[in-house]
Structure 1
């Protein structure tokens, strides 16, 4: 089980990015939460199997939202992230 904290910058608010990210997470069996931040970025905590997590991170980097444009992604492993039962878009 891999647990990561992801921060995404670019055109990621107001373009369906969180909803699209949730759809990808549900498809891959990733649990966690995604939320908009005050600085215009999107942050998430995600938990999942290693292979699924690699695919999830790659899809986030490519922007799951067709209207979104990702300019920077920061991924940090964090074993202290709380496991959730599903993926929530806040």
Structure 2
């Protein structure tokens, strides 16, 4: 298991995107967090294996409804000592 940071840009704030990500993460048993960034993007910290992360990214790219518009998903490996025991939305 590794820790990955995803930065999602597009129309991802004010449209239920964080909750959508949380449902995907819980369905795939991914641990971590999702939060809005001040620039309009959304940051996801995900602790999982590569295959499961790829499944998450594919589902994120297929928005739940017409108001979500995904422009880009940047993926960066992180070195974190913290181990998450669940997935949560950070407000």
TM-score, structure 2 as length reference: 0.89
Counterparts in 2 of 1:81 and 1:75: CA distance versus 1, 3 Å: farther
- Give unmatched runs, 5+ long, in structure 1: none
Alignment RMSD, CA only? 1.3
The aligned counterpart of 2:49 is 49
* 8 Å CA contact retained: 1:3, 1:81: no
TM-score, structure 1 as length reference: 0.90
- Give unmatched runs, 5+ long, in structure 2: none
Mean CA deviation greater in 39-48 or 79-88: 79-88
The aligned counterpart of 1:25 is 25
1:75 pairs with 2:70: no
How many residues align? The count is 89
User: Quick one: distance in 2 between partners of 1:43 and 1:76?
Assistant: 11
